[in-house]
Structure 1
Amino acid sequence: MFKTPMHEKRRVCVIGAGTAGLCALKNSLQAGLEAVAYERGTDIGGTWIFSEEMPKDQYDEVHSSMYEGLRTNLPKEVMGYPDYLYPSEIKESFITSQQVLDFLRSYADHFKLRPHIKLQHEVIRVRPRLNDWEVYVWDHKNNTCDPVYYDFVYVCNGHYTEPDMPDIEGMQLYEGQQMHSHLYRKADKFKDQSVLIIGAGPSGMDIANHVRQAASHVYLSHHLNATPNTTFMGNVTQKPDVKRFTKSGAVFKDGSSESFDHVMYCTGYEYSFPCLSTDVGIQVIDNFVQPLWKHCVNINNPTMSFIGLPFNVIPTQIFDMQVRFTLKFYTGQRELPTREQMLADLEKEQGERWDCGFYNRKKAHQMGERQFDYYNELASMAGIENIKPVILKLMKDCGKKYIFNLDTYRNHTYTIVDDENFIKTPL
């Protein structure tokens, strides 16, 4: 498959220095490879960096989606890396974004990663050559752009930067303010205003709870089968999907109509890889990144891997596991399947998803209950350590709490007793 033997390939390019990029860098270095992480921002941490920055014009891109007052919707006990946990001094399980950022910085310091991270260096183009990768890096401080050559590429640029906006009739007709949750920062922007929030995922529910404390009224539009608990939000009214917008509001699919001052779309994000050339061999169609083997390895150019695409998962743990999985192949300890075998495996996995009624390319990387089989697959196939059973049990205990117990689910702390057991204690 490769003209140069796998064990002789040495240099690793990591795109991004957020949660995924840091563990890709750390594990690559520990595997004996030369590795560099390029981060276009001024600090490590990716989306966990809070900034009140807003776009300067329609072409400007804002990286962070972090908003004031955010607390995690997963406990810190499942958010650590397998070999680096949150400090026991933090008593709360559901922590602030600043505490997550502090943890990522301490991870980088503990494993001495900073000398291998180039801040304010943006990867602007990646293209395959005969035996390696040509990576053009823009040094923002010196305003230079030069090619660097690598044997492997880890794409860790995150997927909370490019908003996924719905296409609803009348959006251009509506005369109020419209924004995506990507640009939400503070609730006081909506003081004494009426707001329509579209989407009841983790962000939609949490932002509704923030905004309703400043707004005069909040309408929460969604198509969940089970009704979220909003009884503690006295000024929130649940509505079905929007059928069409009017000049002052919207008509909903149940025939009802409301007027409001603002619309906020909590409708998720698009996978976007603007630095990858077309000959990388990757397409994104309706948020289905393809063709990938095991949701990470580029089948057309297997020395490139994407870390962190699956969602409804245990984020940090799966990032680390995907990196350890791919490194077994990149260091020659395991042999990659042929292109035909990887394509057949992808087709089989997607066929199973479609057979289960999930014929929706936007959900091609959604895991949910499937994540546990996925972890087992990666562990057995590459001979790597699996995620500890206690982490999986704890994750299951937290499932959907942000929808049905938003007012109370953070009022507990978790203590991991051993690899199998945890204790849940009320605050």
Structure 2
Amino acid sequence: MVNEAQDKNNEKRTYCVIGAGTAGLCAARHALQSGGDVTVFEMAKQLGGTWVFNEQVDKNEYGIDVHSSMYKGLRTNLPKEIMGYPDFPIPDQDSSYIPAEDMLKFFQLFSDSFGITENIKFNHYVIRVKPTKDEKQWEVIVRDCPNDKMDTYCFDYVLICNGHYHTPKLPNYLGTNRYKGKQMHSHDYRCNDSFVGETVLVIGAGPSGMDLAHEISKKSDRVTLSHHLKDKPKASFSKNVTLKPDVAQLTETGAIFVDGTSQDFSIICYSTGYRYTFPFLSCDCGIMVEDNYIQKLYKHCINIRYPSMAFIGLPYYVCAAQMMDLQARFCIKFFSGTKQLPSKQDMEEDTNSEMEERWRRGLKKRQAHMMGPHEDRYYDDLASTAEVDPIKPVVKKLHKLCALRFSEDLVNFRNDKFRIVDDETYVKIN
């Protein structure tokens, strides 16, 4: 689907970037620096994606679902030393774990520094992406929300950067409809003020579930954190937080757990993750999503059927901004014509081989894009395949340490301060 005529007459390649968050900004930067003509569509009125705080939890003023899951007072759960982009770090300040507002300032600085901002169309909601009839470009239909009109564009390449922390994934327990208390997803959590005097069940012990259990416990009477981790979380919570295994079923007043015990709760907060959704993709884009497994993608990025479309930021349990920048450089190396992609058959064989290895390790379909302990292997594979600069060893080392610190000392880990010495070394300075 690549426009082959470009190579003959040297026309400028056109790029559509969907989303102006962490992924979209670095994708736009590298597309621009490759000489491309770039248009970024952002449904919100400002850049920053999930880092934008929004009091609203349902629809915005244009009737569009609010994507941000940001809550008041949130500070990063990784140090700023590894949350910037590889060659554009977050400016130094007193703390390593910084407020969301400072992350937004950083993204604005990044966008302005690389001429991205003037290429962003804010309050523009992508309705449909589909191949053109000759399958050489992409037709993109966009709603210009302030003017309430539809516009149609054509692009050579599409980079999908809409994030995956916006569409809640909810479990279906026996008794869910019987429970008479309040049920909510962490996506709709904004602050802990409304939890004063409440008894709360938080379901899910991922990073957000652990964080919310800690935050809610500051105001509520008691919090129970339900998890299905093999080993009990090592984090030290306050005295009014207790741990329980998985929920077996809900009752009118609370929950029965798989260990046979039960408790009553006034609020249940599901911190059970999100669904990967791309409602704007037409069915003929060659992409299928099955239980959060996006198929078929080469290196978790490039649409194998139509390799002029890519997804930036799908893998999780990663060093996000660093990985997204690497993915963007990987994709643009091929999209710009600097390097030739393998054949579709070779890309499919590579993908099948990798996924078979993941299934052998015991990963489920919903974990198809989870990296975790194997993140370094993924980064190095991207870098070597596209012949682009790898992620620096110091970033990998610090990321592993901080992931461990988060799990072991939830209350105090954000007091740590680090300094990068060189590409291999960091020091902890408090």
Unaligned runs of 5+ in 2: none
| Seq. identity, % | 47
- Residue 399 (structure 2) pairs with residue 384 (structure 1): no
Distance 1:55 1:304 in 2: 30
Partner amino acid, structure 2, of 1:117 = I
Residues 69-92 of structure 1 show CA distances to partners (whole Å, capped at 9, x for unaligned) of 11111100110001211112x121
- Residue 130 (structure 2) pairs with residue 127 (structure 1): yes
Distance 2:59 2:196 in 1: 24
Question: Which of 349, 360, 372 is 2:376 aligned to?
Answer: 372
Aligned to 2:318: 313
Partner amino acid, structure 1, of 2:27 = A
- Residue 252 (structure 2) pairs with residue 252 (structure 1): no
Say how many residue pairs are matched: 423
Question: Which of 159, 166, 169 is 1:161 aligned to?
Answer: 166
Distance 1:30 1:232 in 2: 47
Question: Which of 11, 27, 31 is 2:30 aligned to?
Answer: 27
Question: Which of 403, 408, 413 is 1:409 aligned to?
Answer: 413
Which secondary structure does the structure 2 equivalent of 1:410 belong to?
helix
Partner amino acid, structure 1, of 2:309 = M
Aligned to 2:72: 68
Equivalent residues in 2 for 1:67-146, closer than 5 Å? 67-88=71-92, 90-129=93-132, 130=134, 131-146=136-151
Distance 1:311 1:142, change over 3 A: same
Which secondary structure does the structure 1 equivalent of 2:407 belong to?
helix
- Residue 205 (structure 2) pairs with residue 219 (structure 1): no
Aligned to 1:189: 194
Note if contact 2:159-2:310 (Cα within 8 Å) is conserved in structure 1: yes
Note if contact 2:236-2:408 (Cα within 8 Å) is conserved in structure 1: no
- Residue 14 (structure 2) pairs with residue 11 (structure 1): yes
Which secondary structure does the structure 2 equivalent of 1:400 belong to?
helix
Note if contact 1:205-1:402 (Cα within 8 Å) is conserved in structure 2: no
- Residue 52 (structure 2) pairs with residue 53 (structure 1): no
Q: TM-score, normalised by structure 1?
A: 0.97
Deviation at 1:159, TM superposition (A): 0.6
Note if contact 1:6-1:330 (Cα within 8 Å) is conserved in structure 2: no
- Residue 282 (structure 2) pairs with residue 285 (structure 1): no
Equivalent residues in 2 for 1:306-345, closer than 5 Å? 306-345=311-350
Distance 1:364 1:137 in 2: 30
Partner amino acid, structure 1, of 2:162 = N
Distance 1:333 1:6 in 2: 13
Note if contact 1:18-1:45 (Cα within 8 Å) is conserved in structure 2: yes
Note if contact 1:230-1:236 (Cα within 8 Å) is conserved in structure 2: no
Note if contact 2:2-2:156 (Cα within 8 Å) is conserved in structure 1: no
Q: TM-score, normalised by structure 2?
A: 0.96
Note if contact 1:176-1:263 (Cα within 8 Å) is conserved in structure 2: yes
Which secondary structure does the structure 2 equivalent of 1:163 belong to?
coil
Aligned to 2:399: 395
Distance 1:2 1:75, change over 3 A: closer
Note if contact 2:200-2:220 (Cα within 8 Å) is conserved in structure 1: yes
Deviation at 1:2, TM superposition (A): 4.7
Deviation at 1:60, TM superposition (A): 5.8
Deviation at 1:230, TM superposition (A): 4.9
Distance 1:15 1:374, change over 3 A: same
Distance 1:202 1:281, change over 3 A: same
Note if contact 2:88-2:110 (Cα within 8 Å) is conserved in structure 1: yes
280-289 or 408-417: which moved more? 408-417
Deviation at 1:231, TM superposition (A): 3.9
Residues 23-46 of structure 1 show CA distances to partners (whole Å, capped at 9, x for unaligned) of 111110001011010101100011
Distance 2:310 2:321 in 1: 16
Distance 2:280 2:2 in 1: 24
Partner amino acid, structure 1, of 2:130 = R
